[in-house]
Amino acid sequence: MILSSIAAPIVHAQEADRAVRSAFISSDLEFNDNYDLRRDSLGNALLWTTTLGFGLSTFTPVDRLDLSAEGSVRAADLPSMDDDVSADNPIVRLDYDRTIDDNNIRFGFVAQQADVDFFDPLSDVDSDGRFDDTTGGGTRRSLRANAGFDFNEDGPVSLGAYARAFDFDYTDNTDPDVYDRQSFTGGAEIGFRLSQTLRFTTGGEYRREQYEDSDNLDRETRRADVGIDASINPALSMRGRLGYSRVESNRDSGTTIEEGVVGDLSLISLDKRGETRVGGFVDVDENGQRFTFSVGKLVNWDNASLDADLGVSTNEDTDLRFVGNIDYTLQGRDNELSLGLRQSAATDEDGRNVLYTSGRVNFIQLLTDVSSLGLAVDGGLTRYEDGASDDSDRLNVTAQYNHALTQDWNMNMGYRYRQANSDSNGFRESNAVFVGVSRDFLSAR
């Protein structure tokens, strides 16, 4: 469950030349009055889910490797069918990083397969706040991958490159608003150090997005720029880029092209507890140039931290919209609080201006040395600027009690409320109570 005291599959260690192996098993029994979140519930469901997972973390002075995998077996007594036993939600994660002097290489991926009827969209929110408002049954497969390197960063000539890709695939799904999509982004930059405090750069980026919707969008974005990285003084640095971008969107209904000047200018000022950021950005999407301005702050206290960027964004079709992100954590003597909020303005696969918003709050209060009470709230909201498209929102609230039975065994019980609302599917909600046990395994060398 969300707030259980189960150890995470990946355990981080700080010592050099260290390997940590971990594993867990959890088994949860859940009673749910609308398990697949329909407008009109089919009836009550009883779910018994057992999850197995393992993790491996290795550390050396120059390398870090994190690998984890997990999967579930579910026995279900559903109102819509006979009793069913099935495997679900296998997830594999890999992250690797190697740094030697001013050279770095990194890569990673996350792969998941989930039954849409049991999949929680708020468990897989993109960095911009977007989430899949999934309905219609079937299977959802997702793959996210990234790779990059930076060579000779402090030398007279440096080279950096990166690539990101994702692939979302649906099978046996009946919702016409849920469809396959793929994206690839790759870029490179060459730097020429003119002095100890000034570097000139030139680079480019290519992005391709494909959506297998009713209009079969195939969108390509190309960008080239030049810029500088400057250290004004030991506490103040500046980054600037100026370039040109072209966006070509091909659909069955026709082709559109947008192009224009792009760039960004940002300043970062360091202080004793963190940093202050300010920046302006100009980008080009399918609806033309988008202008964004933001101010950010990073603060680290003894028992808390705040990392926030707040700003506004607009294009020729929309008014100013608030955008940004806030991440805050507080570690008390017997409690812990973390919260996050993100909002971004973008253009979707249909060329519509859209606001993506997501938020989360997690609070854990220790009751005794072996027990705790937790509360988790997650939400997501998609709003379209034209006022006529299908807005959607999701909300999850979970309250959970945790108790350590032994050094290795834990139990949990609680209540979960889920809500979904959209213009096309209406308002849906579910209530669930659950109880579970888990055990953790850990070895280090």
- Rounded to the nearest 5°, which phi and psi values hold at 292? -135, 140
pLDDT at 213 over 90: no
Domains and CATH numbers, the chain: 18-444 (2.40.170)
Mean pLDDT of 168-185: 89
Burial of 426 (0-12, 13-18, 19+ CB in 10 A): exposed
pLDDT digits (tens, 9 = 90+) for 83-113: 789 999 999 999 999 999 999 999 999 999 9
At 77, list the tokens.
């007594």
Mean pLDDT of 390-410: 94
* pLDDT over 90, % of the chain: 78
Which pLDDT band holds residue 16 (cuts at 50, 70, 90)?
low
Q: What is the mean pLDDT of the chain?
A: 92
Parallel, antiparallel or unpaired: strands 198-211 and 217-233:
antiparallel
pLDDT at 129: 81
pLDDT digits (tens, 9 = 90+) for 25-65: 999 999 999 998 988 898 999 999 999 999 999 999 999 99
Cβ atoms of 265 and 230 closer than 8 Å: no
pLDDT at 285: 93
pLDDT at 215 over 50: yes
pLDDT digits (tens, 9 = 90+) for 372-386: 999 999 999 999 987
Sign of the CA dihedral with 348 first, then 350, 353, and 358 last: negative
Which pLDDT band holds residue 444 (cuts at 50, 70, 90)?
confident
pLDDT at 3 over 80: no
DSSP 3-state assignment of 123?
A: helix
Mean pLDDT of 203-212: 96
Distance CA(437)–CA(274), nearest Å, equals: 41
Within 8 A by CB and 6+ apart from 132, the residues are 121, 124, 140, 168, 178
Parallel, antiparallel or unpaired: strands 198-211 and 63-77:
unpaired
Which pLDDT band holds residue 5 (cuts at 50, 70, 90)?
very low
Which pLDDT band holds residue 6 (cuts at 50, 70, 90)?
very low
Q: DSSP letters of 222-279?
A: EEEEEEEEEEEETTEEEEEEEEEEEEEEEETTEEEEEEEEEEEEEEEEEETTEEEEEE
pLDDT at 8 over 60: no
| Share in percent of the chain as helix, strand, coil (round to 5) | 0, 70, 25
Distance CA(224)–CA(205), nearest Å, equals: 7
